Amino acid sequence: MLKVGLTGGIGAGKSEVSRLLVECGAVLIDADRIAREVVAPGTPGLAAVVEAFGPDVLAADGSLDRPRLGSLVFTDPARLAVLNAIVHPLVGARSRELESAAAGDAVVVHDVPLLTENGLAPLYDVIVVVDVAPATQLDRLVRLRGMTEDDARARMAAQTDREQRLRIADIVIDNDVPLDRLRVRVQEVWAELERRARPVPGAMAE
């Protein structure tokens, strides 16, 4: 099994790269999706979030009001740290469960937005960083996700800077390109990941 950590700044396009890698044959473990699951209604995770931040973070149907919670934490590092302390251990445990269920020869791609921030690089065999210019991130967040410019800048500022992400990268995917060029680049990266996943001839099995 080859364990790949996929990361990039908010708005960089990790979801599109993940989708293309799955088309190639990757097993995807999406930390954002798991983060939503572990705070679904009725979960201990949601109960812990409500205890920490109050019932105002709940929507009328009892689910987590993510925009409301985001407005509380993304401009307040102390509150963000509290939220991370609740959610990250739950996400890590579920990710390990999913990884253990994958085939022994699989390329398992962990889509982890905060991989750099949380010092998680040593957990993976290969780090792939999806990279775009900050101006591209800002444009996508405002134009495609409907954020205000101030909110988008706050979300970006809450993450590590571009240079730190690139320093931990084994492979960089430039996503300041049209989709057809991105697809070609992802296919190149997939070929490299498959090469790394293949056993070395003559190596002893663990």
| Structural domains of the chain in order of their starting residue, each with its CATH number | 1-26+106-200 (3.40.50.300), 35-104 (3.40.50.300)
Q: Is pLDDT of 203 > 80?
A: no
- Concatenate the DSSP letters of all residues of the chain into one string: -EEEEEEE-TTS-HHHHHHHHHHHTPEEEEHHHHHHHTTSTTSHHHHHHHHHH-GGGB-TTSSB-HHHHHHHHTT-HHHHHHHHHHHHHHHHHHHHHHHHTS-TT-EEEEE-TTTTTTT-GGG-SEEEEEE--HHHHHHHHHHTT---HHHHHHHHHTSPPHHHHHHT-SEEEE-SS-HHHHHHHHHHHHHHHHHHHSPPTTPPP-
**pLDDT over 70 for what percent of the chain?**
96
User: How much is the pLDDT for 201?
Assistant: 59
Q: Is pLDDT of 65 > 90?
A: yes
User: How much is the pLDDT for 206?
Assistant: 42
User: How much is the pLDDT for 117?
Assistant: 86
User: How much is the pLDDT for 158?
Assistant: 83
User: How much is the pLDDT for 202?
Assistant: 55
Closest C-alpha to 129, from 171, 80, 101: 171
User: How much is the pLDDT for 184?
Assistant: 97
pLDDT digits (tens, 9 = 90+) for 104-129: 899 999 999 889 988 999 999 999 99
Please provide the average confidence, as pLDDT, over all residues in the chain.
Answer: 92
Tell me the C-alpha distance between 117 and 121, whole Å. 10
